Every structure is written in structure tokens, then in C-alpha cells.
Chains A and B, each alone.
Chain A
């Protein structure tokens, strides 16, 4: 029977869910003209939940009969999700007003989705993985279509929903195979069954493959990425930004934990699949991004490529030492990527006129001259995407590549380097428009989005001076994993 301690370990999630329900209720009596109350309330909830997560930082334990675990990995990711949520709230505020879509449900749904992500990062049972995946996905399906009745938004939501349902089914199917093989859905049980030699190897492999597909869909790697560009473009930009960072991170959280805990022995076989997914994502994402003139689609393809980069370090995960390094690098990169991606999206959201589906690159013309702070934020974000030194992006890639080299994945690293080179073309083209083309941004930039952009850019720059402490924090945090 659950004890108080069980609830204490998932306190951030509990707080967030209760808060979300309360906001849902309170928002009913807040008139449309005063929705900033809802925004502020939800931000407060995120901050309180983050405070709880901070307080739990460093504690480990499992709760609810091993359904969820709390460890450094889940704590750090929880904080990342909550901060991403905070950014998504800040980005949405001006943006929703501009688009006359000030509906309080945005914030409630966002909070629900974040709670799902947090549970996903600490799930210790395949059923829990599935449930939290649904808890994070369903609000996002709705949020993607939040600009109802705008056709593009509805289309994005429908596509996301159909394909998401498809992939959820596949994930569930994989869980079924694993249950069939081992007779367990909880991680310790599955591990015990595999270690005891009672598991059916073939069924297990098929299950693992299907799980990989399910997670691959969430993180958007080739060829499970197809929904990414259409959905990002059609959904509200603040949700696009949130999805590139938080959903991806949640998918990685589950992927890393499930594969590290359940399938270390299958690593030699899985490595081949991961290799292919990683290489294909890097090549495809970076190449097709070149042809994009719409900023949202460009960032979508960039996110596909970045998923490939993170996966790269994870290919040699069978070696315990490398696995440790891989998870630290992935966490570090997720942080760097979160800052960079939010920085880029925030600049775009600040400048995006009402009723548009993303800025064209030409629309950045003259930005550097007219709004130097936003221009600088865009520049820093783009340099960080490329991985130029003095940005977090550089260190992120550095640690990923280093891990891959340590795992003797030289060809993959070469692909990574070459595709980074290719990516410089489209990232720098944005900078070129912002600084070297005459023009004028169409609208007055939204204040909160600008603040987010500048904070992210400052973070990218400042943290790049202390990469080692940050990395070691990540490494120290995952020590207590499992």
C-alpha cells in the first residue's frame, strides 16, 4: 500500500498535477481579457514544482511498488522540463494575445504534458512508460491544434494525433512482446528474468525493436520523423519550441533508461540499428534543412538532425564506462540544445506576425540593425547550433563526439562532423539575412519572447566558459541511476 514516502518522491509531479487541475477550474472564471492571471498562475506552479524538484535533487528511491524511481537523472530532467515549461509560458503570452487565442486551456494542458514528461523520466515499469507517454502526448495533440479553427493548426494536430496513435500502438505492441518474453513489465522483474535466462530471446529482441520505434517517433529520428516538420509548422510556435526541446528530451529520457536498464546485453545488436538511425537522421535532417525557407520547418529539420547527434553518443552503450559518459553527454547536450533551440524559437516568436505559419528567412532582414539584442540572440543561437566555440553548442557536440570516439565510432563521428559543416550553411544564412540584408521586421517584438531569447543567448555564452563543472554535475547526477 502506498505510503506518504511514495508521494514525497513524486512530489513535483503531484504538485504540478494538482496545480494544473486548480488552474483548469480557476480559469473558468477569468475573463478572456485577463488571461495573464492564468499565465502567471501556471508559471508560479512550475516554479513551485521546480522548487520541489530542487529539494529532491540528490535523493534516490523508488515508489509505488517500483512503478517509478527517483534518481539524479530523473531530477535533472524534471527540472529541465519545468524550465522548458516556464519558457513555453513566457513565449506564449504575447504570442497568443497577438493571435487572438488567449484561452486558459493552453496553460493547463502544458502543465499536464510536463507532468507526463516528468513521470516518463522516472518511469520504472513499461506500463508506467506507456501511461506517461500518453499523458504527455494527448495534451500536445490538443495544443498542436490550439489555433482552431485555423486549418494549418488543425491539420498539424490531426497528423500528429494519427501518427502518434500509430506509434503508441507500436510501443504498446513492443511492451506486449517483452511481457510475453519475460512475464514482467516492471524493470527489475524483466532484468531478473533476462539474467535468469528465463526470457525468450527472440521475443525480447522484437520487443526492443518495437520500443525503439515508439521512442524514435517521439524524438523524431529518421525515418520516424515524418510528422515533425508539418506538426511544428502548423502548431502554435510556442508549442513548436516546447516540443523541439521537452518532448524530445522526454523521449530520450525513456529511451536511455529503458535501453540501459533492460537491454545492455543486446547492445551489440541494437548498436547497428542505433547507428543507422543516427547517421540517417544527421544526413537527412541537415541536408533537407538547406532547402527550407520557412524558419519553423528549418528548425524542425534541425531538430531531426540534433536527435541524430544525441543518438550518436548512445550507439556504443553496451560498454558500461561509455554508457556513463554517453548519458552525461546526452544530458549536457540536451541542456545546450534546450538553450539554443529556445533562443532561436524565441527570436522567431517575438517577430512572428499574427496569423502566420512561421517566418520566412527573408523576414529576418534588417533585424541586427533594428533590434540589436534580438539580432545578437539569434546570432548566438545559430553559432551554438553549428557548434562554434564560445557557445554551449560547441561543448555539447564536443562531449558527444568525444564519447563516440571513445566508443570507437569513428565513421559516425565523421558523418557528424561533415553534416555539421553542411548545417553551417543554413544556420549562417539566417544570420546573413539578419545582418546583411536591408529590411525591417514587420512587427514590434513581443517583450517576453525577447526576454527569453536574450536569457537563452546569455546562458549559451556564459555557460560555455564553465563546461566542465556543468558536465561533471551531469555526470555526478547520473551516478545513482537505476
Chain B
């Protein structure tokens, strides 16, 4: 620390002796000030992040009697007959959901960006509104939509030949249903984000392309999209991470269909069952650590490989 300090102080000073002493004092008080200001956040990071993660790690490495169990819990988790299917399930959902939300968010952001202010503002508000019905409120909305006996769009279900919620929510439809539910509540916010990014593109660039003879589609494809690439990557990866930790919607769908959807459909649900269904806290902790490592990996990828956080340096 002393070296860094003196090095940074030494650069660009006039009277080294005098400046060095007061510079050092400045640095110290600056550091102290910084740590004081950061204290609340760091404390929370400790309490809500580091300590639980450490405790989870410890719990995952011991067995029920408290003695060291090595990777036994991890082996149990990974060889559980439901482990692979939970990841297959979220993968099936991701494969539908992520492309859909990226495409819809980007396309509509582009469309809105090219529209008049009034139309743009109205459409933005309309799309964002469902975001207010987040989580369980959104799910109630979809219970209403998905149940053919009460749905405001029941003609869709009768065309598909479904008479009951159980048929609509049958196993093979679940990834699609989940995607729709997540899309409805999420597309508004993500669209706003892309729209905001679009606003940072200089007008001249687009006008120049227009003068060169590019039509709207070509302008979007050749100029805007490449600039949006880091945003698209960010969007995709964030939603992959989100799909990975699904819990609420599959659980509620299971309740609403009287148990026809497995209560261990997603990895997080499996962790929950380990904790409370079977009472195996070591396995639950191991599952949490696995999910944590996966999402940390995703996070690391975003932070280090995309350009989005370059300004953070």
C-alpha cells in the first residue's frame, strides 16, 4: 500500500517533501473516508453474500452428524435421479425464452426508436405495465389466461383441443408456458434497456447511412445491430441466469395442476426438496453451491468478456 501511495503521490508534485507528507495524509483520509462510506454495503455483502456462501460450502462438506464428508453430498446430488432432468427442463425453457425475449426486445426497441414521440411513449408504457405485475401477481394473470374454463382467450385453447388447465399445462407444454409467463412480465423492462442504448447511438451515423441509400431494414441490420451486440449479449446472459434459478412459476403450476408437474422440475426446486422434503441439508447446500458456481461463471463471463463494464475500470 505504501508503495502505491508514494508512487501515485510522486507523480506530478512540485515540492516533493512538503507535498509528500500532506499527500500521504490526504490519501489516508481519503481511504478512510472511502471505507467508511462503503461500510454499509460491505457489511451487507458479508451478511447476505459471503457468510451464507461460506456456510453453505461448509454444510455441503459435512454429513448429518457433522463430520467431514468430502464430496459425498455432491455425489448424492449429481447422481440423484432428478438432477439431470432439472437442468434439461430449464434448458428447454431457456431455448425458447432467451431467443424470444432478445428478439422481441430488440425488434420492438428498434420499432419504437423509429417512431414518433407520442407513439413511442405510449407503447413503452403499455409494454412496461405488465412488469408491475411481477412474480405471483403475473402468475395469477396467467392462471386466468391459461385455464380454458375462464380464459379471455379460450378460443385459442379450443382450437388446440384443450378442455382443462391440466391439458394446457401438460408436461411438454410447460417450457413454452413458462416462457410466455416470463416474457410477459420481462419484455417491457428489457425493451426499455435496449431502447436506452439505442438513444446513445449518434444520429449522424444513421443519417449518413440513410443518405447512402440504406433502407430502414438495412440500417438496422448493418449499423445498429452491431453496435447493440454487447447489449444483446448482456440481455441473453442475464436471462439465461434468470431461467436457471426458476422456482416460483413451476411450483405454482404444479399446485394448480394438482401435482401433475413434478415438484422437482427445476434445480432450485430440487434444492428445496432436498432441504425440506427429505431433510438432507447437506444435499441442499451442495445444490446451492453448484448453482452458485454456475451463475458466478456466467457473471464472470459477462464482466470480463463483454465490453459493457469497461467504464468501470
Asked whether A and B interact, the reply is: no
Give residues in A with beta carbon < 8 Å to B. Answer: none
- List residues of B whose CB falls within 8 A of some A CB: none
